[in-house]
Amino acid sequence: MRQLLLIFTLSIFIFAKSINIPENFQANFTQMITNPKKKVINYSGKVYFSEASKLKWEYKKPTKKEVCTNGLELLVVDHDLEQVSKYNISKGFNLSEILKKAKYHSKKLYLADYDGKKYTIQVDKNNRLQAVAYFDDLDNKVQIAFRKVKYGKGKLSSKKMTCSYPKSYDIIRG
């Protein structure tokens, strides 16, 4: 009986593990995209997350770019091309929902099924986000690693979450 109680208690602990989902976070990131022909492109920069659906990616290398979304619209500012692309989106990379659907797999690893894609999520010792990997709609393998992650409470300022660009940039609606 005692062993059965111990097994039951341990199974609750194992299956109750979940990822700490922040109200907001900021981090440096590296992103490696590998296409089906094994060609690799590496990006790096800073990412901001706020209010469950707002994301801002500031790409520093290899090109200077900003990508902002509120879950409904995607804005891509390419500073090298002096161009802004605006897209209405019906589905996208909803980090908060992906993390909510994540199920404990093994030490520091979680798996999530969201919107027809499978995500592998790595966490640190405090169950805070460290990396995400998945295959995108073009069968590219996408791996994003986060460093110097700062979790916070409340919303990040709208200025921090907004992509800015000069009025002289060309605007393309997709």
66-104 per-position pLDDT tens digit:
999 887 888 999 999 999 999 987 666 677 788 888 999
pLDDT at 8: 33
- Tokens describing residue 116: 């027809």
pLDDT score for 88: 87
Measure the CA–CA gap between 102 and 128, rounded to whole angstroms. 12
Whole-angstrom Cα distance, residue 141 to residue 92? 16
Structural domain boundaries of the chain? Answer: 17-173
The dotted CATH code for 17-173 is 2.50.20.10
Q: What is the reported pLDDT for 22? A: 79
The residue type at 58:
E
Question: In angstroms, rounded to a whole number, what is the distance separating the alpha carbons of residues 110 and 133?
Answer: 11
Residues of the chain with pLDDT under 70: 1-17, 90-93
